[in-house]
Amino acid sequence: MTARTPNAVRRFTIVAVVIPIVLVVLAVVVQLIALPSLPDPIAVHWGFDGQPGGFAPAWASILLTAVVGLGVPLLIAVSGLSGLRRGDRGATYRLLGATASAMAALMAVLSTGTVLGQVGLGSAQDAPSIALPVLVALAAAIVAGVAGWMLQPHQPYRPTLVAGKDDDAATGAALLEALRVRALAR
């Protein structure tokens, strides 16, 4: 980013890229520290009754955290950055950035919570209910999403016109305005 990079692009990048990377790296580090104390396999799926119903190697949670926790937010970021760099503005870009942070927080907290709940267990069958990690992860996602929204500047909707199309767009806008005025006059 250069000094000429608009504030909206810089803030979006922080919210949609930097914060998710930090959250997921922290989650992966905590899970790696817990790895030697986990049963093998660990519970990775719970039924509606709160009992574990699916199992995987202990490293699978770390891989899932990294792939989903970074993959989804980075896909969201890539989809928004091109428009912002082109000059587009609006609430949609704020929402995309906030959603990226919220998704990373949800994945990081949920996967880390389920892993930490199994530290020291002899068998993954003894894993506790996932209810508490889910509630904490949802709360973390809401906090991250709201913070991500607030960290980005409010800018009104402003699409960028494609070069060479400005005249067509202006003519189309003038035509629509004339039709609107004519319809209101009736």
Beta bridge partners of 158: 89
180 assigned to some structural domain: no
Residue 52 lies in a domain: yes
For the stretch 96-134, pLDDT in tens is 999 999 999 999 999 999 999 999 999 999 999 999 999
Give me the residues of the chain with pLDDT under 70, please: 1-5, 161-171, 186
pLDDT of residue 55: 96
What the block records as the tokens of 184 is 């209101």
Asked whether residue 185 is assigned to any structural domain, the reply reads: no
* 167 domain residue, yes or no: no
The C-alpha atoms of residue 169 and residue 158 are separated, in whole angstroms, by: 13
pTM above 0.85, yes or no: no
Give me the pLDDT at residue 2, please.
47
Distance CA 145, CA 137 (A): 12
Q: Reduce the DSSP state of residue 51 to 3 states and report it.
A: coil
Domain membership of residue 137 as a residue range: 7-160
For residue 99, is it within any domain?
yes
Q: Quick check: is 172 in a domain?
A: no
Residue 181 lies in a domain: no
Q: Is residue 171 part of a domain?
A: no
What is the total count of domains within the chain? 1
Burial classification of residue 94, based on how many CB atoms lie within 10 Å of its CB (0-12 exposed, 13-18 middle, 19 or more buried) = buried
* CA–CA dist 159, 162 (Å, integer): 9
Return phi, psi of residue 44, to 5°.
Answer: -125, -5
Distance CA 26, CA 33 (A): 11
